């Protein structure tokens, strides 16, 4: 790597015609250590420390030989480089605690938000459940206590002998009402008409009164429930796009609380709607809060957790919090027995989320990105105290200096957009593949979730609970396999198996066999959905990761728009619905093989990294055996330590000041003085070793 012309000592160094090389020796020097300790005790900013060290070394030039002078000049350059190495969030986390008491409390704070996510996502499914046993209401025959007689007098039969759901006889029911012997009016040749006065529903089969039953969204109006669910996902698309921008401008905590408030208002107004237009409008509001009401706390917790704990925390939060609430949701609906009460009562716990402004911390990374570096440092100090970690003040000064010099300028000067991903051929191919895979996985997952409400109409609450119970072992299986066999093969195997079992279920003639195979398809759909959440964020480079993942998730919501119509096909044939889900599962699994493996690989940081990422991998590349089983590290030319928001390519730097500091290439020279060797090594390591001691 060529030296940067902006380095202040470059002209002098070029006159000497000498280059320096960092020593690999680990020898301690008492005079140098003493100098370092004095500098640490003095405190101050990193720039002040740098000046002090340069002055101390310059004062000793006269007492050294010419050989030593060259070595000390090399040491001066090393000081500048080492103090210029930026302390990243991922570098600081091990010092303040990667999964201490602070992170564990944050983990527990996810509980109410997982309930909100489960209610927002699944609540509408129960509000719009359509019963299978119903017939036309004839008010004139309400005096007839025998239901079988009422049906014989007013409802025609279908070809299979069952009573019609949507037709009634066009007869003089007033005469039948006052007739002494009603049996003489039995006549199957009477003309038929659609239901005029509503419907009578089987309350034994469906003890929960739904909006579908109240508004009569059956027969010719049965598509209203499907449209309402599609409007919900339309709101999710709008909310995902809007809240992504809102979170960058106002903070993660503001986005979290405001989205939960939107869910609260939408749910309360849902409970008082009187027609389809009002119901659809309120579900649009609730849909806009979907994803953000949980994703923000999900991201917030992961930002404070060390890298080695993130896979565990990400999946265990879904396994032990989200999965039980999804299993509880049908029984809450059944317990409240009325969709309006269900919507209002489940919205009340959302009020607790408004307390998050006082109970939850803001994202320290976001605080830095908007220039509130002092607040971020104070917050990280609080994390260290809560985790009972003793961190020297100079470490936080080092981190503050790094933020001032890099993060603020880097983020404010960022000019990357989603279009930047498509400027590199390999990255564009990965992006298209991830969009297609995520759309297939999202549709398969949501389709199986909704299919649980139509596959077993006689035991819908029991079967829905069993289907949601597959979330728990699915999340545990992800934890056990994802970091062992890698993302590619896990995504391929589990998505492919979901498709296989869906097709098997479609071919089953016995209902029990169909339900068993469909449950297996749902189980594997849970797993591949969780893998997709993590995989997309790892393939995209850091500088476009947030925008890219947001766009991929938005496209997933677009595909979810088609999920209610796919499930609606069960009205025609359950096999047809399962065939579509099965084919999509097979397609998504095959496409997963064309994405690169991220396990045992340093994740791409820049657009250049993204363009080269996965180039050396082949179709049979596996992280558990062969060449892929060893960690592949970046070339040593990279100067950075952490992994957050770093770039190295000259074309991708926005900060000229940071470009001077980061792009220094150490000069190589022959060091003949042992004292100078000790000085260089001590200066290189004092910042972190002193902090540890």
At 637-657, the pLDDT tens digits run 333 333 333 332 323 332 222
Residues 455 and 532 occupy one common structural domain:
yes
Q: So what's the pLDDT on residue 676?
A: 41
Let me know how long the chain is: 693
Residue 221 CA to residue 215 CA, distance in Å, equals: 9
Residue recorded with tokens 């995989």: 535
Q: So what's the pLDDT on residue 24?
A: 37
Residues 56 and 175 occupy one common structural domain:
no
Q: So what's the pLDDT on residue 538?
A: 77
**Could you please report the per-residue DSSP string of 385-432?**
HHTT----HHHHHHHHHHIIIIIHHHHHT----GGGGGGSHHHHHHHH
Residues 501 and 634 occupy one common structural domain:
yes
Q: Where a domain ends, among 201, 234, 259?
A: 201
Residues 608 and 511 occupy one common structural domain:
yes
Assigned domain for 396 exists: no
Q: So what's the pLDDT on residue 345?
A: 94
Q: So what's the pLDDT on residue 496?
A: 94
The pair of three-digit structure tokens given for residue 502, joined into one six-digit string: 């869906």
Q: So what's the pLDDT on residue 667?
A: 41
**Nearest Cα residue to 51 out of 26, 8, 80:** 80
Assigned domain for 637 exists: yes
Distance separating the N- and C-terminal Cα atoms of the chain: 34
Residue 269 CA to residue 284 CA, distance in Å, equals: 11
Residues 560 and 436 occupy one common structural domain:
yes
The pair of three-digit structure tokens given for residue 53, joined into one six-digit string: 């060290």
Residues 686 and 563 occupy one common structural domain:
no
Residues 491 and 634 occupy one common structural domain:
yes
Q: So what's the pLDDT on residue 675?
A: 43
Assigned domain for 370 exists: no
Residues 6+ apart with CB under 8 A from 541: 427, 604, 605, 606, 607, 609, 610, 613
Q: So what's the pLDDT on residue 410?
A: 52
Phi-psi region of 330 (alpha: psi -120 to 50; beta: other; left: phi over 0): alpha
Residues 81 and 156 occupy one common structural domain:
no
Q: So what's the pLDDT on residue 340?
A: 95
CA separation (Å) from 507 to 110, 440, 504, 513, 578?
A: 41, 21, 5, 10, 9
Assigned domain for 635 exists: yes
Assigned domain for 80 exists: yes
DSSP category for residue 403:
I
Residues 683 and 641 occupy one common structural domain:
no
Residue 327 CA to residue 467 CA, distance in Å, equals: 8
Assigned domain for 233 exists: no
Residue 542: which CATH number? 1.20.1250.20
Ranges in the chain, pLDDT < 70? 1-86, 405-416, 542-543, 546, 602-603, 605, 624-693
Q: So what's the pLDDT on residue 530?
A: 82
Residue pair 659/5 in contact by the 8 Å Cβ criterion:
no
Q: So what's the pLDDT on residue 448?
A: 92
Assigned domain for 49 exists: yes
Residue 219 CA to residue 199 CA, distance in Å, equals: 10
Residue 337 CA to residue 23 CA, distance in Å, equals: 75
pTM comes to 0.73
Quote the radius of gyration of the chain (alpha carbons, Å).
Answer: 32
Residues 52 and 148 occupy one common structural domain:
no
Q: So what's the pLDDT on residue 590?
A: 93
Q: Where a domain ends, among 174, 201, 228?
A: 201
Residues 515 and 597 occupy one common structural domain:
yes
Residues 142 and 59 occupy one common structural domain:
no
The residue segments making up the domain with residue 681 are: 10-86+677-692
Assigned domain for 457 exists: yes
Q: Where a domain ends, among 179, 201, 223?
A: 201
As for how many domains the chain has, the answer is 3
Q: So what's the pLDDT on residue 670?
A: 42
């Amino acid at each position: 790597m060529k030296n940067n012309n902006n380095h202040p000592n470059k002209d002098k160094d070029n006159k000497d015609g000498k280059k320096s090389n960092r020593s690999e020796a680990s020898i301690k020097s008492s005079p140098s250590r003493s100098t370092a300790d004095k500098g640490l005790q003095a405190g101050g900013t990193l720039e002040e420390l740098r000046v002090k060290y340069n002055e101390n070394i310059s004062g000793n030039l006269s007492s050294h030989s010419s050989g030593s002078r060259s070595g000390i000049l090399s040491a001066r350059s090393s000081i500048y480089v080492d103090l210029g190495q930026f302390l990243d969030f991922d570098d600081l986390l091990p010092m303040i605690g990667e999964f201490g008491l602070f992170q564990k409390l944050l983990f527990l704070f996810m509980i109410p938000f997982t309930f909100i996510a489960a209610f927002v996502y699944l609540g509408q499914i129960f509000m719009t459940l359509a019963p299978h046993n119903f017939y036309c209401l004839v008010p004139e025959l309400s005096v007839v206590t025998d239901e079988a007689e009422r049906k014989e007098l007013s409802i025609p039969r279908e070809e299979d002998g069952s009573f019609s759901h949507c037709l009634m006889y066009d007869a003089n029911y007033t005469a039948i009402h006052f007739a002494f012997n009603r049996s003489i009016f039995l006549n199957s040749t009477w003309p038929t008409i659609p239901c005029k006065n509503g419907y009578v529903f089987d309350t034994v089969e469906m003890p929960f009164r739904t909006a579908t039953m109240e508004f009569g969204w059956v027969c010719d109006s049965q598509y209203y429930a499907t449209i309402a669910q599609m409007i919900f996902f339309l709101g999710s698309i709008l909310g995902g796009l809007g809240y992504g921008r809102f979170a960058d401008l106002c903070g993660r905590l503001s986005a979290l609380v405001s989205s939960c408030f939107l869910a609260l208002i939408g749910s309360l107004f849902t409970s008082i709607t009187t027609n389809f237009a009002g119901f659809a409008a309120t579900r649009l509001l609730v849909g806009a809060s979907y994803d953000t009401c949980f994703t923000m706390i999900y991201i917030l917790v992961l930002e404070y957790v060390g890298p080695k704990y993130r896979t565990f925390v990400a999946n265990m939060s879904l396994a032990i919090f989200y999965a039980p609430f999804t299993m509880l949701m049908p029984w809450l609906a059944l317990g409240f027995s009325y969709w309006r009460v269900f919507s209002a009562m489940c919205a009340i716990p959302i009020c607790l989320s408004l307390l998050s402004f006082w109970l939850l911390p803001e994202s320290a990374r976001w605080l830095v990105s908007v220039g509130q570096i002092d607040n971020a440092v104070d917050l990280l100090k609080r994390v260290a105290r809560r985790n009972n970690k003793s961190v020297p003040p100079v470490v936080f000064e080092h981190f503050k200096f790094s933020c001032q010099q890099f993060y603020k300028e880097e983020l404010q000067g960022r000019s990357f957009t989603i279009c930047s991903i498509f400027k590199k051929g390999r990255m564009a191919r990965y992006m298209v593949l991830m969009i297609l895979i995520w759309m297939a996985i999202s549709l398969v997952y949501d389709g199986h979730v909704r299919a649980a409400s139509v596959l077993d109409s006689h035991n819908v609450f029991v079967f829905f609970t069993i289907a949601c119970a597959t979330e728990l072992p699915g999340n545990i299986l992800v934890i056990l396999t994802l970091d062992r066999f890698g993302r590619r093969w896990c995504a391929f195997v589990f998505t492919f198996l979901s498709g296989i079992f869906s097709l098997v279920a479609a071919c089953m003639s016995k209902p029990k066999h169909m339900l068993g195979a469909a449950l297996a398809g749902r189980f594997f759909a849970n797993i591949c959905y969780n893998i997709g959440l993590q995989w997309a964020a790892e393939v995209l480079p850091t500088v476009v990761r947030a925008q890219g993942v947001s766009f991929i998730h938005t496209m997933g919501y677009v595909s979810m728009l088609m999920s209610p119509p796919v499930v609606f096909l069960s009205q025609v044939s359950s096999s047809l619905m399962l065939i579509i889900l099965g084919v999509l599962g097979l397609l998504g699994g095959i496409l997963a093989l064309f994405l690169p493996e991220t396990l045992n690989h340093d994740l791409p940081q820049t657009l250049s990294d993204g363009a080269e990422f996965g180039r050396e991998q082949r179709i049979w590349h596996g992280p558990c055996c062969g060449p892929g089983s060893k960690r592949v590290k970046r070339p040593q030319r990279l100067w950075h330590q952490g992994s957050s928001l770093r770039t190295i390519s000259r074309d991708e730097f926005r900060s000229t000041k940071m470009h001077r500091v980061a792009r220094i290439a150490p000069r190589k020279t022959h060091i003949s003085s042992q004292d100078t060797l000790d000085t260089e090594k001590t200066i290189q390591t004092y910042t972190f070793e002193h902090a540890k001691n």
